[in-house]
Amino acid sequence: MKHLHIPVFFLVAAYLLASCDINQRDISPEGEFVKIFNHSDEQLRFFPQSVEESDQGGFIILSGVKADTAENEFPSTYLIGTDKQGKLIWSDENNYLAPEGRLLKKENGMSYIAMDNQFNGVGLDIDLTSGQVIRQVPLDLKMPLFSYVNSRGDFLVLGHDFINRASKISLFSKEFNQLRTANLNINTDLQNMVQKHLNKSGKQYPFFIGEFFDNPDSGFFVNCFSNYSLRIVFLDRGGNLLPGDIYSFQTEAAVSSFVQQDESRFSLTRYYGGNNYLIPEINVQPGISQNFNNIDALSLFELSPEAAVRSLKATIDGAKSILFASHTNSNSLIIYQYNMETDEEIGVYMQDFNNKIEIADMIQAKDGAIVVLGKIFVLGKYPRPLLVKIPADEFSAE
């Protein structure tokens, strides 16, 4: 596996353009590109959330964006559409606030979840040729924190009910019809922490949702606030809570990524005390309450304190791998690759930058390449969306 060093330089003149349209700087060739989506307005701060591949092979990027002078404390929505080489085709901004979680792919389109000025969740369908909202559906939840589309095409959304001090997990059809809701008591007031998470002024918590299969209790896992702590809870396919969970020390420790290998075998990363750890294989039972803070784990001291991590099951040359993507103290994108059958490390991919970066999302494209979405601080202070496409042959199958 190669270790690439790609220095990234920027000219101040790029920010002095008369136009306020988003533009782009190309760092490497087609097929193995690094794309930075720039903007001439120095007051804007971008908060990338999710990337998905379109049916045409291009990419859709969902971000929040906020101006330092904005009256509303929450970021609004910014969408970017590219071609298959990552070249900018269109961009669109709208007034829906704090887009969180994943872009939701469905037949002939995509959706995402955001909120209105009253903290109410809204489901939004977008036009993939322009990014404009073509339908909006009010959702019965407050402060959406993460969203996910399952293998059946249904949407699972995590919200925060600050009035009743509870996490609300709702299952919706692809038409945003509510199918079931589960409420988990937090038992303490975390509204200020959630609000700072949403307006990007405080600690960013690793809320996430995923699926598990090949298990008598197949369903979903959700990382959310519950019973004084940030913990993973499990739901069956109908959206009903299962008795098991994975809990940590209040809100100071958490699982930062979680992925199933098969049946009861999972992999996870976690943080505590500013340090990051990786457990390549752990036995998880959705019907049992477990704590992994005291289990031996690999220390990832190279990562930034409490770094965001994205995990992904990927097929490389017909072999299954688990990938963990994050960012280091030395401004590098780093991806750890593990063999899913043996849990052994295959290699580590690194790509270096001259500016601070943060990871946001990771997917595998139709051509097998790994696509990473992140945020880069241009000139050390202007956060902008960063899209990196890495060919599959940069990763070894064994």
Contacts of 76-80 with CB under 8 Å at 24 or more apart are 77/112, 77/114, 78/22, 78/46, 79/126, 79/131, 80/22, 80/37, 80/131, 80/385
Question: What pLDDT digit, counting tens, does each position of 365-387 carry?
Answer: 999 999 999 999 999 899 999 99
Cα 338 to Cα 350: distance, rounded to the nearest angstrom: 15
Which whole number is the average pLDDT over 111-137? Answer: 97
**Domains in the chain: boundaries:** 3-394
Which whole number is the average pLDDT over 310-317? Answer: 94
Q: How confident is the model at residue 398 (pLDDT cuts 50, 70, 90)?
A: low
Architecture of the domain whose range is 3-394:
7 Propeller (2.130)
Residue 15 has pLDDT above 90, yes or no: no
What's the pLDDT at 152?
Answer: 87
Residue 29 has pLDDT above 70, yes or no: no
Tell me the pTM: 0.92
Question: What pLDDT digit, counting tens, does each position of 51-80 carry?
Answer: 999 988 999 999 999 998 888 899 999 999
The chain-wide mean pLDDT, for the chain, equals 90
What's the pLDDT at 134?
Answer: 96
Quick one: 357 exposed, middle or buried, by C-beta within 10 A (0-12, 13-18, 19+)?
A: buried
Cα 336 to Cα 344: distance, rounded to the nearest angstrom: 11
Q: Say how many C-beta atoms besides its own lie within 10 A of residue 394's C-beta.
A: 18
Q: Which residue has the tokens 């946001």?
A: 360
Question: What pLDDT digit, counting tens, does each position of 84-104 carry?
Answer: 999 999 999 999 999 999 999
Cα 398 to Cα 393: distance, rounded to the nearest angstrom: 12
What's the pLDDT at 30?
Answer: 52
Structure-model confidence comparison of residues 10 and 370, the more confident one = 370
Residue 276 has pLDDT above 70, yes or no: yes
What's the pLDDT at 218?
Answer: 83
Measured between alpha carbons, how far is residue 242 from residues 31, 145, 153, 235, 237 in Å? Answer: 43, 21, 21, 5, 10
Q: What are phi and psi of 191, to 5 degrees?
A: -60, -40
Q: Which residue has the tokens 């937090």?
A: 186
What's the pLDDT at 25?
Answer: 54
What's the pLDDT at 20?
Answer: 39
Q: How confident is the model at residue 26 (pLDDT cuts 50, 70, 90)?
A: low
Residue 1 has pLDDT above 50, yes or no: no
Residue 268 has pLDDT above 90, yes or no: yes
What's the pLDDT at 27?
Answer: 55
Question: What pLDDT digit, counting tens, does each position of 192-210 carry?
Answer: 999 999 999 999 999 999 9
